[in-house]
Amino acid sequence: MDAKLRIQELIQIINQANHDYHTKDQPTITDFEYDKLLHELIDLETKYPNYKQTDSPSEKIGGVVLDGFQKVTHAVPMMSLSNVFNNEELDAFDERIRKVVQNYSYVTELKIDGLAVSLTYKNGEFLRAATRGNGVVGEDVTSNVKTIKSLPLRLTEPIDIEVRGEIYMPHKSFKKLNEERLSLDEPLFANPRNAAAGTIRQLDAKVVASRNLDIFLYTIVDASKYVNSQMEVLAYLQKLGFKVNLNYHHVKDMDLLKSKINEYDLLRKKLSYDTDGVVIKVNEFSLLNMIGYTSKFPKWATAYKFQAEQVETILKDITFQIGRTGVVTPVAELEPVLVSGSTVSRATLHNEDYILTKDIRIGDYVIVHKAGEIIPEVLNVVLEKRKNQTPFEMRSDCPVCLFPLIRKPGEADHYCSNPDCPGKNINQLIHFSSRVAMDIDTLGERVVEIFHELGYLNNIPDIYKLHQFKDELKEIPGFGDKKVDKLMEAINNSKNQTLDKLLFGLGIKHVGAKVAKTLVKYYSTMDELMHANYEDLLEINEIGEMIAQSIVTYFSNPTNRDLINDLKSLGLNMVFEKESVLEHAFNGKTIVLTGKLNIFSRDQASDIIEKLGGKVSSSVSAKTDLLVAGEDAGSKLKKANELGIKVIDEEEFKVMIDGLY
């Protein structure tokens, strides 16, 4: 078959399959068939780029990397909604409308908790997506929104239309994202809304594609050009191919409206995405202008807000926990309660200031919720219920070794001052051997605790000296020959673990798994990193001041230097094996990427440069050897020209690396 026709056919089949799966929730082909068709399409499009269509599903994979977002002025401002919090306020809203018009009805819709966007289609083709911004001016997030699987890139009718809706992150995607961030020691997103908003502002569309955002549409701009009521809007949006939240109702009296709201409040707990209320809109367009607008919102609609999942319980005690960096954290011991689907009996209190600012005291009734759907947190105190509880006082000694705690100026945390604190060390050991660090699989939390109690393990080097006590270990109940031999083998193997895993395992503050991976690309031996200075570290794209300072502080501490030397003499790998650095023009060169790249993603281009022995820097300076300037390059290009630095475009870059990648 002719390639052009096959491309058209594939696009049609895949887009239909996408629509069935993501919009209608009724899959019509298997994942395997889908992947096969998509691969065939991508292959054909690579061979015949001229035949690529704007509505191709391959557009959804991402690939565009931006320097920033263009501003977009909304032709019709994006307004917000007034709120009501109870039935009295709802009645008052209705009465204000009834004073102006009589024969009206309402449409109720779920209020999706995400971020509003406006989508423009020309001739039925997706053209642009813009965030709400301040309502008048938003940001162009087209390439990111394009990655949303349920979004049609071509409508069923060749019309010009602007539609609005809510981008959100389903619970499943949110949980996966936060779990990933937890394992990488990266800050968690507090809730799916923040995660969706943070994702839509990513510069690399591939990152967006990987996070599985979704979108519900609910409004058409200048809707009366197309239809006569909100019920018709929702039907028409579906007809055009958009995903509409199907939990909408047409209600004609207030009693029914109130009972529907109660139903929604039950329903929302079972949904796979967050909602924070019900939107109530007058259905008949002919009445809207009569009811009118304030400067911020329409008077013909309002949002009935649900109470967030926050639960009251008693704070029975405040205990203290020491982490691997030596930070001592206060923990709330709670009367167990059910919060967002699981029983919570402990919650973080963060630090002394958190407790004092909120004046949290033992014996108080407190409100708890789950931050980021994962971590239980005490939000505040129910002061009306307080009796004669005494104010909180931070303890002054370590809960494990009783050494004094210290609080450094400008920091909120308290640290144990004992460098050999067993509490800190045991957590360090557990972290060091964990799967995400050195991956010594048989040396789990319980085993570390037992060996520690028996005096075999006090610090990291002790792990590599355990073999001296092999016979004794075999005598411990529950261990035996086989288990100890397996453990010795795992410990021995871990000596060859990669340098980034070792670095992460050391537990340097702010050096998570991802930062460790970045560091070894620039400092391929432990020695080099130990001598790195603050300014050089800052040159690295992903390393900020806090991380750079923490690394320098860590390695300037003699105890830590001794630890590294011990590990070195015990035979641990201290070198990062670069995947065969070729003798290439990029070798040893500092290269800056700028502007919009079309062939490679930013990450790909950086990876290639690093694999060829170059360093990627974020700013142009006298030290820069080469600037790769994509489309619309701005200030960096100007500066490079001023400094007489060699500049190449993306095509030349491709030629320079061709055949290699």
Give the footprint of ligand IVH on this chain (CB under 6 A): 79-81, 109, 111-112, 116, 132, 166, 218-219, 279, 297-298, 303
Three-state SS sequence of 207-234: HHHHCCCEEEEEEECCHHHCCCEHHHHH
SS3 240: helix
Q: How far is the CB of 276 from ligand IVH (least distance, A)?
A: 8
Question: What tokens does 104 get?
Answer: 């009206």
CA distance 549 to 411: 14
Q: Give the position of tokens 């105190």.
A: 381
CA distance 42 to 333: 55
Three-state SS sequence of 501-522: HHHHHCCCCCCCHHHHHHHHHH
When computed from its CA atoms, the radius of gyration of the chain, rounded to whole angstroms, is: 30
Q: For residues 322 and 421, is the Cβ–Cβ distance under 8 A?
A: yes
Q: Measure the CA dihedral 245/246/251/256, to 10°.
A: -100
Q: Has 111 been annotated as catalytic? A: yes
Catalytic residue among 111, 260, 370, 501: 111
Q: For residues 51 and 114, is the Cβ–Cβ distance under 8 A?
A: no
Considering beta carbons, is residue 109 or 413 the nearer one to ligand IVH? 109
H or E element that contains 29: none
Q: For residues 226 and 242, is the Cβ–Cβ distance under 8 A?
A: no
Q: How far is the CB of 171 from ligand IVH (least distance, A)?
A: 17
> What is the number of alpha carbons within 13 Å of residue 3 lying toward its C-beta?
14
H or E element that contains 172: helix 171-183
Considering beta carbons, is residue 166 or 377 the nearer one to ligand IVH? 166
Considering beta carbons, is residue 118 or 142 the nearer one to ligand IVH? 118
Q: How far is the CB of 261 from ligand IVH (least distance, A)?
A: 14
Q: What is the DSSP letter of 619?
A: S
CA distance 119 to 129: 5
- For ligand IVH, the nearest residue by Cβ is 116
Q: How far is the CB of 138 from ligand IVH (least distance, A)?
A: 11
Considering beta carbons, is residue 132 or 243 the nearer one to ligand IVH? 132
Query: What is the longest distance spanned by two Cα atoms in the chain?
Result: 90
Considering beta carbons, is residue 107 or 627 the nearer one to ligand IVH? 107
CA distance 316 to 543: 41
Q: How far is the CB of 112 from ligand IVH (least distance, A)?
A: 4
CA distance 410 to 408: 6
Considering beta carbons, is residue 308 or 382 the nearer one to ligand IVH? 308
Q: How far is the CB of 269 from ligand IVH (least distance, A)?
A: 17
Q: For residues 516 and 185, is the Cβ–Cβ distance under 8 A?
A: no
Q: How far is the CB of 155 from ligand IVH (least distance, A)?
A: 20
Q: For residues 343 and 332, is the Cβ–Cβ distance under 8 A?
A: no
Considering beta carbons, is residue 63 or 114 the nearer one to ligand IVH? 114
Considering beta carbons, is residue 137 or 490 the nearer one to ligand IVH? 137
Taking Cα atoms as reference points, which of 129, 125, 128 lies closest to residue 156?
Answer: 125
Q: How far is the CB of 234 from ligand IVH (least distance, A)?
A: 9
Strand pairing of 311-322 and 327-339?
A: antiparallel
Residues assigned a catalytic role: 111
